[in-house]
């Protein structure tokens, strides 16, 4: 990504594992992640219970479905992402990897903002974003 500007340079962030953001909104899933997620035990279990864990569109993209509580099928009872826990950060859909960050290319360069829907962002909980620059560059 190279150089980028943090829109909130004094903000700090580390996930507080509230699970609040893991449901209730349309999570776009790229085709490679759709293929991976469709084969996971959580997706098979959801299908066996009559749910649609991933709604796949004709172009191969999809979005994650929700259980009766409105939560992602890949969220564990302890509010951790089972994909992240079992298979690693890189196997999560890109939307999930990036949340709560907003990454925008502008004529002035790359801008990184945050979603204030996120509990950790609201609480200003965690490490300084400047210390997370290497991780942000990978996104």
Beta strands in 41-134 (DSSP E): 54-56, 62-64, 101-106, 109-114, 127-128
Q: What's the whole-model pTM score?
A: 0.85
- Alpha-carbon distance 116 to 136, whole Å? 17
Contact criterion met (CB below 8 Å) for 38 and 54: yes
Residue labelled with tokens 């993209």: 61
pLDDT means per 10 residues, the chain with 139 residues, are 75 88 90 96 95 95 92 91 93 93 86 90 91 82
Distance between alpha carbon 108 and the CA centroid of its chain, in Å? 26
Q: What is the pLDDT of residue 1?
A: 40
Q: What is the pLDDT of residue 2?
A: 52
């Amino acid at each position: 990504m190279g150089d980028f500007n943090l829109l909130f340079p004094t903000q700090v962030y580390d996930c507080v594992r509230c699970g609040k953001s893991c449901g209730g909104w349309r999570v776009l899933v790229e085709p490679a992640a759709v293929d991976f997620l469709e084969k996971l035990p959580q997706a098979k279990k959801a299908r066996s219970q009559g749910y649609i864990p991933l709604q796949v569109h004709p172009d191969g993209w999809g979005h994650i479905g929700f259980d009766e509580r409105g939560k992602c099928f890949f969220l564990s009872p302890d509010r951790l992402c089972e994909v992240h826990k079992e298979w690693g950060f890189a196997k999560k859909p890109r939307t999930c990897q990036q949340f709560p960050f907003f990454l925008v290319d502008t004529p002035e360069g790359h801008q990184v903002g945050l979603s204030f829907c996120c509990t950790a962002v609201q609480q200003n909980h965690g490490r300084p974003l400047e210390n997370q620059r290497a991780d942000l560059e990978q996104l």
